[in-house]
Every structure is written in C-alpha cells, then in structure tokens.
Amino acid sequence: MRIVPSRFLKVAGLIPVLLLGVPNAFGQGCDHHDFDTPEAREHARRPVFWRHPDFRLDRTERIRLLAFNDFHGQVGTGKFVSGRPVGSAPVLAAYFKAAAESLPERTFLVHAGDHVGASPPNSALLQDEPSVSFLNLMGNKFCSERWRENPFCNVVGATGNHEFDEGKDELLRLIYGGNSPKGPFLENPWRGSNYPMVCANVFLAGTDKTLFPAYNIKIVKGIPVAFIGAVLKATPTIVTPTGVAGLDFRDETESINKQAARLRALGVRAMVVLIHQGGSEPSYAGDTRDTAHANFGDLQPILDNLSDDIDVVVSGHTHQFTNAFAKNKKGHTMLVTQSFSSGTAFGQIDLDLDRRSGDVVGMSGQIITTWADQGPGLTPDPKARDLMDSANARVAPLVNRIVGTAAHDILQAQNPAGESSLGDLIADAQRSAVNADLGFMNPGGIRADLFAGNITWGALFTIQPFNNDVVKMKLTGAQVYTLLNQQWVGQTFPKMLQISGLSYTWDDALPVGSKVVEVRRAGIPIGMPDVFTVACNSFMAAGGDNFLVLKDGTERVVGPVDLETLVDFISNHAQPIDYAVEGRAVRLH
C-alpha cells in the first residue's frame, strides 16, 4: 500500500493548504445494535457500478478506497458471524493488503469514526493506543507523526462519537502523542498517529477553529482527492457531558458544503465524505443495485442537501451495511457505503478519475466480510499479530481473572417488550450496589453478551467498558413515568431501558410521550407523588440518551464504578448465575 509522489509539482499550488489545512486545535454513547445476518453479508458483497456519460477509459486514473467504520478497538479475536470467526487486526490487515495488491500505489485506507472507544480490554485498558498503532502499521512510508497531512500518506480517519468518550484533551493526546498518566504502555514515548484525523463540524467552543483539520487532500498521479470528515451533530446527546466540554458540534451538511466550496476553489474536483452517521440496507431478493431498498435513516437529510461536488459518502454509526447510490435534491449521484462494525468487513471502493477534469467519472463499491477461516484470513498479518499478542499479554493478569460462572448464555437481545436477560442482571447489580428502590440501565451501555461457562473480568469489561459511576438519586413517581416515556421521546429509535425493582406495561398504539400505561413496584401501582431512590449510571444521570428527566433527580450520591458493581454482584451471587427474561416490561400492542 504505497503511493509514489509522481507529478507532485503540478499541484504545488496546493501545498500551503496541505500544510496548514483550516484552523484547528493542535495542542459514550449509544449505538444501534448490529443488523447482521448471513443474508445481509451475502448481499453486501455484491458490487454496484456507476459511470458518467463522459467516461473514457483511455483518460482515467483508478484509485481504490478501503473503507471501514466502528472498529471499536477490535484488535483481537472474538467476533463471529453465523458461528464463523471474523475480523481482528491481523485478519483485517491481511485483507487490506490483499485488496491493495492490484493498485499498490493508489490505495487509501479510510475510516468513518468510532475507531476507538467502547473497546475490548486489550485496547481500552491501554487507552486505545493499540488501535491507533494498528493503523500506523498500515501506513506507507509517507505516513509520519512529523507530517500527518502528507498528501501521499495512504491513511485518513474521521471522528465518531466514541472518540470523545474521554474528552478532547485525551483525544488530542491519543492522536498527537504524549504518554497517558496511566501509561506508558506498548510504546514509550507514545508518538500518536502517523496519519491525519479530519472533522469539519466540531469546533472549539466560541471560536471558528476546528478541533482537527476539516479535510485532508491526497495526490494520485497529480490529481488531488479530498477527504472531508464529519460526526453526527447530536454527539453531545450520546456522550457524557465531560466528553464534549469545550466543543461545539455544528450542522453536518453546512460544514461539509462549506469545505467542498473551499476545495473546489482550490481546483479539487474529487471529494469523499467520511461521516459518522448512517443507515442500513436490509436483505431482499434481487440486485443490490436496486437502491429503493436502501434506508439511509438519519443520513438521508444530509445526503439530500450535500453539494454536487461530493462523490462518495463513507458512513458509520449504525453498525449495519450500506452499498448503494443516492441522489441529492438536485439529482447528483453519490455512492454511500457502511461496512458493519468491529473490523468484520470493509468497503472496497474503486473510483475512476478523469485526467483532464480531475473529477470522478466512474464508481464501484462492495462490502467484503473479513472471514478469518478463508482467503486472506488464513494468513494473518504478522506485524499486526505481534501487536495483538503484545496487547493481550499486557492486560492478561487482570482480564483472565475468573469472577463467576454462567449457567447459560445471558444475552443483550431484547424481547418484543424491550427486556433482556443481561439488562436485568446489570440493572439488578447497580440497584443492589447503592441499595436503591429502582434501577435503570441504558441499552447502548451494554456492549457484548455474557456466554455460558467461566465469567472473566475481561468479559465483564467488554460488556461495560465506559467506566461510568453508579449514581443514586431521588425521583417522584411522576418522574419515573416521564423517564419511561422518554424511551420514545426525542429518540431516533426507541431506547428501551433495562429495569430493576419495578415492572410496567406499555402500548405502542398510544402516542409518543404517553406509551406507558402503568408502573408497579412489588405488584402495586406507584403513585405520582411517591418518592423513590433510583440507581443509574453517570452517563444517564447527566441526561445522556435524551433521558433528560434524570437531570432533575435530587439528593444525588455518587457510588462505585458500574463495572465494579457487576463484578461484585456476580462474584457474590449463587453460582452458577442463572438469569432469564422475567417479564419486567410488558407490551400490550
């Protein structure tokens, strides 16, 4: 994956921009669950094609983008699709290198955010440095921490909401270098990334300075190609307030289009957006090119209004797949992709650039699953494997400690009423830890399942990696009703709370804001003026996931870290642990 700086002098006029970019600051959230079936994987791999009427093969240059999203620190093994192993840094690296073989000097590795955060222990406990190191390994000789914006570096990434989990200062340290107070870890001193991060719509509060450069320009055979980054504007609603302190998240479309106009004035015609927002493309009978089946979700209004200068949109956030063409309101065609999550797939996007205009005149895309039991997955990349092994060894003493036994799989999958066995377990643990009357747990804070057999500390960390405190507060019965109704109010999709110490019925036929029919405690309906002690995590307590009524809770007491409560609850529980859905939530219609 090497890019040679041929014909560089032809774009010398771009050098000041490449060096300076736009003003910048050098110096946890809830995601959708995976929509992941064998049928979806099969359809995702089918290529889509588009060519401009003026396409001429004899005057085009082809480049390849290897696009992925929502890696979430999946450096090690452990992911499966239909019982088959997928992903991990060594396997993903092998696929990347195989995909770049036919275009070794014209292949770029790009990601659309959440590369770090909500990570397994072998990345998270090392402040996600191994995940950045993985991409550093993928960089060519032009990638360097001394000049991350080098136009011949073959890697570029965008921010997602999870990049902000620990605040802007930690994010800047992770990218620009400097040892963590908890480190050093595998590299001393930590030098940060050797590739650029881009984001056009996150600004230092009260200024017009972006936290990272808004875009990065790459050069192929003298043709400039720009990558513009963006993250969903709603990031502050799904990240702990301390994570977004001092930052302004502005409109995605306006921010992207502003940069597109600037790039066009500089003579750039080929533009790719890396955005942490997305939709899905469900399985169906027929050709994947039938875009009527694509559901762009919250990305749709952004696509509708994007500039005609945008050719490709690499998306993320929903952990699903998209490989389809979309049109903006003016009828301009764009390729939109998303590649599941956790390194289990990537998008292979080929772009044909017209040598005269520098614009994109041909596009194709497909989503390739990174099976570990076939193809490139059979020969994992040795350098990435060494990185994985080093990370595993560093955290092994803590991660491998056994804290209990599970009688059977305890899963995060919800029944039609919104209840899960794992959610029941976590809500019970938090309520017990602070001796509260009621307990509430947001589903986006549950990141993995608990499988039958020995329960290790590492497995519980993977389930709850955010290091939230458990907060005890007081709510009235009326506020409890409001809280439960906020599962639908102001949400892009229902966020069904996992509960403890109560039961309730709800009716989907009722209007948003009034779906909860009755709430009971110990089988007795609660009264509106009654006062209850309530346990929840600090993310929710601050109004995260739009559970805003929790901000009004009184007599707050901060308790232990959520992971500690789960570890203690399981270790002190009768063994083996045997949890099943109890019917705490009942759906009437």
DSSP state of 361: E
Same domain for 319 and 265 = yes
Output the CA torsion sign for 36, 40, 45, 51. Answer: negative
pLDDT digits over 133-187, tens only?
A: 999 999 999 999 999 999 999 999 999 999 999 999 999 999 999 999 999 999 9
Specify the CATH number for the domain of residue 469: 3.90.780.10
pLDDT digits over 97-118, tens only?
A: 999 999 999 999 999 999 999 9
Instruction: Say if 1 falls within a structural domain.
Output: no
Look at residues 366, 392, 418 and tell me which one is the last residue of a structural domain: 392
How far is residue 431's CA from residue 453's CA, in Å, rounded to a whole number? 25
Instruction: Say if 329 falls within a structural domain.
Output: yes
CA distances from 383 to 74, 123, 389, 390, 460 (A): 16, 16, 10, 11, 28
Query: What is the mean pLDDT of the segment spanning 496-506?
Result: 98
Q: Residue 168 is encoded by which pair of tokens?
A: 């802007």
Residue 502 pLDDT exceeds 90: yes
Same domain for 171 and 132 = yes
Query: What is the mean pLDDT of the segment spanning 20-45?
Result: 56
What is the residue-averaged pLDDT of the chain?
91
- The per-residue pLDDT for 492 is 78
How far is residue 177's CA from residue 187's CA, in Å, rounded to a whole number? 11
Residue 504 pLDDT exceeds 60: yes
Please state the domain count of the chain: 2
Same domain for 206 and 317 = yes
Instruction: Say if 556 falls within a structural domain.
Output: yes
Output the CA torsion sign for 126, 131, 135, 137. Answer: positive
Look at residues 360, 392, 424 and tell me which one is the last residue of a structural domain: 392
- The per-residue pLDDT for 294 is 81
**Confidence (pTM):** 0.87
Q: Residue 302 is encoded by which pair of tokens?
A: 């952004």
Task: List, in order, residues 6 or more apart from 415 with CB less than 8 Å away.
Answer: 581
Same domain for 275 and 143 = yes
pLDDT digits over 521-543, tens only?
A: 999 999 999 999 999 999 999 89
Output the CA torsion sign for 27, 29, 32, 33. Answer: positive
Instruction: Say if 3 falls within a structural domain.
Output: no
Categorize the per-residue pLDDT at 35 as very low, low, confident or very high, splitting at 50, 70 and 90: low
Categorize the per-residue pLDDT at 491 as very low, low, confident or very high, splitting at 50, 70 and 90: confident
- The per-residue pLDDT for 476 is 98
pLDDT digits over 373-419, tens only?
A: 999 999 999 999 999 999 999 999 999 999 999 999 999 999 999 99
DSSP state of 168: H
Specify the CATH number for the domain of residue 98: 3.60.21.10
**Which residues form the domain of 312?**
8-392
DSSP state of 526: P
Outline where 367-490 has alpha helix (H).
Answer: 382-399, 421-434, 457-463, 477-485
pLDDT digits over 195-216, tens only?
A: 999 999 999 999 999 999 999 9
Task: Please compute, for residue 511, the number of CA atoms within 13 A of its CA located in the half-sphere on the CB side.
Answer: 1
Pairing of strands 107-111, 60-68: parallel
Instruction: Say if 578 falls within a structural domain.
Output: yes
Beta bridge partners of 480: none
Closest by CA position to 389, among listed 95, 88, 183: 88
Same domain for 369 and 417 = no
Same domain for 368 and 488 = no
Same domain for 386 and 411 = no
Instruction: Say if 2 falls within a structural domain.
Output: no
Same domain for 366 and 338 = yes
Task: List, in order, residues 6 or more apart from 403 with CB less than 8 Å away.
Answer: 455, 456, 457, 460, 567, 570, 571
Same domain for 489 and 351 = no
- The per-residue pLDDT for 185 is 97
Same domain for 345 and 313 = yes
Query: What is the mean pLDDT of the segment spanning 241-269?
Result: 97
Instruction: Say if 203 falls within a structural domain.
Output: yes
Look at residues 392, 425, 450 and tell me which one is the last residue of a structural domain: 392
Categorize the per-residue pLDDT at 283 as very low, low, confident or very high, splitting at 50, 70 and 90: low
How far is residue 58's CA from residue 60's CA, in Å, rounded to a whole number? 6
CA distances from 134 to 125, 145, 487 (A): 16, 14, 37
Instruction: Say if 276 falls within a structural domain.
Output: yes
Same domain for 495 and 346 = no
Residue 291 pLDDT exceeds 70: no
Beta bridge partners of 450: 410
Same domain for 387 and 530 = no
The length of the chain, given as a count of residues: 589
Give the CA radius of gyration of the chain.
24
